[in-house]
Amino acid sequence: MDLVVAALATWQIIEIWHHSSLLAPLRARAEMWTGKLGELMVCPFCLSPWVAILCIVCLRVPEAWLAGWVLYAFAAARLANLGNDFFKQYTLTPRVTFDDYEFEDDLDADSI
């Protein structure tokens, strides 16, 4: 079970790091770093094994129980995103425009 949670949490953490506008300033700074560390921080494929190792350690070490709960939250968020992606075509809310309805204008200037 820890392996599945670590895999999903790693996926979600890498997605947040790589695509979140919230972390864009940090990513921009990391892109300016020279050397291997800079390459590591901007390449999701390069960063994911290190994030996965950290996730597994946090899940396996009893003293890191709080980090484990956070990783379970990341894993649940990734599963929710996968569900949204998979079932999107079946669960879209139909768009309704005001042109589809006729409104009676009951208000006049005197009643306001």
d(C-alpha 67, C-alpha 31), whole Å? 27
Q: pLDDT tens across 32-85, in order?
A: 888 888 888 888 898 999 999 999 999 999 998 999 899 999 999 999 999 888
Q: 41 Cβ partners below 8 Å, 6+ apart?
A: 27, 30, 31, 33, 47
Average pLDDT of the chain, as a whole number: 86
pLDDT of residue 70: 95
Handedness of CA 26, 79, 53, 63 (dihedral sign): positive
Give the start-to-end residue ranges of the domains of the chain: 2-91
